[in-house]
Structure 1
Amino acid sequence: MLQRFAYRLNLALEPWFPEQRLFLKSDTATRFVRLRPLTQAMGLMLGTLAMGWMMVASALLIVDMLGQANSRDQVASQTEVFAQRLEALSADRDLRVAEAAGAQSRFNLALDQVSAMQERLLAAETRLRELQTGIDVIQNTLRRTIRERDTARAEAQTAQAALAAGGSGSPVTQAEDLARTLDLMSEALTSAARDRDTMLTEVAEAEAKTAEVAKAKAEVEARNAIIFAKLEEALTVSVEPLEKMFTAAGLNPDDLISAVRSGYSGQGGPLVPIKLSTMGLSGSPDETRANAILATLDTLNTYRMAAFKVPLGLPLKTSFRLTSGFGGRNDPINGRHKMHEGQDLAGDYGDPIYATADGTVTYAGWENGYGRLVKISHAFGIETRYGHLSDIGVKVGQKVSRGEKIGDMGNSGRSTGTHLHYEVRLSGTAVNPMTFIRAARDVF
């Protein structure tokens, strides 16, 4: 059946593919190979298919090469844009630091002014109390003088009545006694009138000074209210971005403040609230607002110290591009799907690598997979790792500051190209480093 089908197929193909014979001649014999029409047609078909496959593969390869070229151009463009963004963020960070320093200076100046005004206010209130005491003394003296005047008048009337009744003694003696008595009463009344007028003048002056002191006190309170309002606004604008930054990084601001205050041992210490209980002003509105401002300023200062202890910066200052990110991926060497616990940043061989926060070097050497590796322990249970380095510039136990160089970019260990493998770990668990980098963009 198959032979008959093949025979008929050969007859059908005979006009286009006539039977060919290939002669193979040797020294002793001559042989030939018969190429039937079906064999020739199949050979042509296979050759055509092979040629078509080669053309399609070549086209796909050319398209892929063009796509890779476009992708490289896009990556270069994105890298340039990202570098410009980083420069702008750096400039904005410097501006924010300058603004914070200016706000600190303005606050210190305002605090000095508030202190001076409070001292003047206390002096004015002391003077007011003294004047009130003087007024009380003058009023008491005036009342006593009036009583003495009334008593003298009563005695004079009694003497006149006695004279009129014709008391004992000669008329000449009685007249002399009456004259002396009248002179004494006149002098006493004149002296009492002078004292009264003097005291009334002093009372008027004391009341005028009291009004001036009250007016000065009101002006001081109005100026204090304006100063406090400006300080509260400036501190609110400074503290809110820092709180958002730490929250975006997955850190609790309250826990950060507690940890920094418990471990803070530098000069200065936390700001102490104002206490005016010995001056009679405890619990006043100005004291309450001043203490609230001091508490906010202490929080701002604590956030500033925490920012240097948390890895919020970038480990590179040169141009780079982001390659493999944090999360699951296909391993570039064996193709297996596994967890990538850091962020890869590709750059030039030998680019300097910098610490992203203050800390202590806990490891500096070779480790399988990482190659040359540096581990830095930071506050709040945070650790950063810098892998595949070409050179290590720090030692175990060394204290490093944020922005301090710790090594150079390389290709050591299990790596397919020059790059930095950057990790951030919280309490030993790897987290996405880009969370910390993005959180600092709006502040630094």
Structure 2
Amino acid sequence: MLTRFAYRIHHQLEHYLPEQRLFLKSDTDTRFIRLRSSTQALALVAGTLALAWTIVATALIMMDSIGAGSSREQSARQQAMYETRLNDLSADRDLRAEEAARAQERFNTALAQVSDMQERLLASEDRRRELETGIDVIQNTLRRTIKERDEARAEADRAVLALNEQVGGATEMGRAADTVATLEILTGALGETAEERDAMQTEVAAARQETEAVVAEKRDLELRNDAIFTKLEEAVTISMEPLDNMFREAGMSPEDLLDTVRKGYSGQGGPLTPISVSTSGGGLSAEEARANEILGGLDRMNLYRIAAFKTPFAMPLKDSFRWTSGFGYRKDPKGYGTRMHEGTDMAGAYGTPVYATADGVIVHAGWDNGYGRLVKIKHEFGIETRYGHLSQIRVEVGQRVSRGDRIGDMGNSGRSTGTHLHYEVRLSGEAVNPMTFIKAGKNVF
């Protein structure tokens, strides 16, 4: 039955596709290749399938190109918005630093004025003390003069009595003249002493008024400085909180990160120099310590900015994509049970640009069995990122890259079921969830 059915099929094929012979002639003999009807039918079917596949693939590529155009425009807009936001943040940070520098200049000027006022106050106080001492001396001199006058009067009375006893008495007119002369001398001395005392009291009152004016001016200056410091402290606190939260949400200690950055940039120092002036020659005053705290906060913000660019908070893709597999245990896409997936998968168009998510150095750029074409970037703080299944690698080992540099193109190389990017973040050699860093960065960038 099967033989008869096959014969009928062969007979029908010979009717439409008769047997052909292809002759091959050489110098010595002639040979031919016989093309049976079934062989011609298979070749015709294969050619038809190839043509159909070419048409379908061309249509799919054209559709992807049309979709990719709009996706690129959307990604370009998102990138422009991201860069604008980053530039605004940098401009705000620079403005805060400039305000702090101006505040420091104003504080130094105010500090010099306060120092001058203190010197004037001390000079006024010394003058007042000198005047008080002079008044005390004048009063003591006046008391001593009055005492000497009384003693002189008593001595004169005794002399007059003795003279009267010896000469038989003096005229009343002579004694009156002596008394008048003595009183005139004493009255003149007392008048001069009183005038000098009044002049010193006037100078003391003027010195007290000048001292009170200096104290009031110093108090107003301290109030203005306190208002400036309060605004700067609020600005630093508001700017610092999201940065602290970003690193803590990423599972990293902000203090350890800042210590590492500070050690790496110890040769350059901070952007502003702390105040170390002291008018008394001792420790820092409360205003100076407060200014140093503000400058320390600004330096901390600058260190945060450096650490943020060295930590993978950015996205590896800027074009449109779809999340296809997250971090954690999942069913193996090749059907080999449940296994740990140490990264996150992002599916997009073939050849989609892949970018570095932080500053670092390329430590691997080549083929790796499971990953296919793989790029590894070593960052600061013991962080490493991996970009797998690439179609093309655009960097070399040892090359230093910055955040946003293009390192390769999305592909389907290695152990993969379709075009996508396998993105990993490793902390001290241990794989962690990349979404932790991506979500933490979105709160700031």
TM-score (norm 2): 0.73
- Give the counterpart of 2:104 among 101, 111, 123: 111
CA distance in 1, matches of 2:338, 2:284: 65
Q: Tell me, yes or no, if the aligned pair for 2:389 and 2:422 is still in contact at 8 Å.
A: yes
Matching residue's letter, 1:221: E
With 406-415 and 123-132 compared, the bigger mean Cα shift is at 406-415
User: Is residue 261 of structure 1 aligned with residue 262 of structure 2?
Assistant: yes
Cα deviation per residue 1:271-309 (whole Å; 9 max; x = unaligned)? 665445552674643234333323333332222221111
Identity over the aligned pairs, expressed in percent?
Answer: 48
CA distance in 2, matches of 1:222, 1:371: 67
SS at match of 1:440: helix
Shift of 1:213: 1.2
Match of 2:245 in 1: 244
CA distance in 2, matches of 1:250, 1:123: 52
- Relative distance call for 1:420 and 1:165 in structure 2 (3 A) is same
Matching residue's letter, 2:259: S
Q: Tell me, yes or no, if the aligned pair for 1:387 and 1:420 is still in contact at 8 Å.
A: yes
- Relative distance call for 1:418 and 1:142 in structure 2 (3 A) is same
Q: Tell me, yes or no, if the aligned pair for 2:115 and 2:279 is still in contact at 8 Å.
A: no
Shift of 1:108: 2.0
CA distance in 1, matches of 2:179, 2:400: 105
Match of 2:51 in 1: none
Please show how residues 361-440 of structure 1 align to structure 2 within 5 Å. 361-440=362-441
Q: Tell me, yes or no, if the aligned pair for 1:361 and 1:395 is still in contact at 8 Å.
A: yes
Match of 1:299 in 2: 300
CA distance in 1, matches of 2:258, 2:74: 32
Shift of 1:231: 1.4
Match of 1:224 in 2: 225
Matching residue's letter, 2:92: E
Cα deviation per residue 1:288-331 (whole Å; 9 max; x = unaligned)? 43333233333322222211111111122333332222223334
CA RMSD of aligned residues (A): 3.3
Shift of 1:82: 9.3
SS at match of 2:381: helix
- Give the counterpart of 1:152 among 137, 145, 148: 145
CA distance in 1, matches of 2:231, 2:103: 10
Match of 1:9 in 2: none
Match of 2:120 in 1: 127
Please show how residues 326-365 of structure 1 align to structure 2 within 5 Å. 326-334=327-335, 336-365=337-366
CA distance in 2, matches of 1:277, 1:174: 71
Matching residue's letter, 1:119: A
- Give the counterpart of 2:90 among 87, 94, 97: 97
TM-score (norm 1): 0.73
- Relative distance call for 1:198 and 1:373 in structure 2 (3 A) is same
- Relative distance call for 1:265 and 1:390 in structure 2 (3 A) is farther
Q: Tell me, yes or no, if the aligned pair for 1:361 and 1:400 is still in contact at 8 Å.
A: yes
With 284-293 and 167-176 compared, the bigger mean Cα shift is at 167-176
CA distance in 2, matches of 1:366, 1:426: 22
- Relative distance call for 1:85 and 1:404 in structure 2 (3 A) is closer
CA distance in 2, matches of 1:120, 1:371: 70
CA distance in 1, matches of 2:432, 2:100: 38
Cα deviation per residue 1:108-152 (whole Å; 9 max; x = unaligned)? 222222222122112212211111111111110111011112222
Shift of 1:440: 0.7
Matching residue's letter, 1:133: D
- Relative distance call for 1:324 and 1:86 in structure 2 (3 A) is farther
Q: Tell me, yes or no, if the aligned pair for 1:96 and 1:443 is still in contact at 8 Å.
A: no
Match of 1:64 in 2: none
- Relative distance call for 1:281 and 1:290 in structure 2 (3 A) is farther
CA distance in 2, matches of 1:413, 1:176: 136
SS at match of 2:388: strand
Cα deviation per residue 1:401-431 (whole Å; 9 max; x = unaligned)? 2222323333333334333221110111111
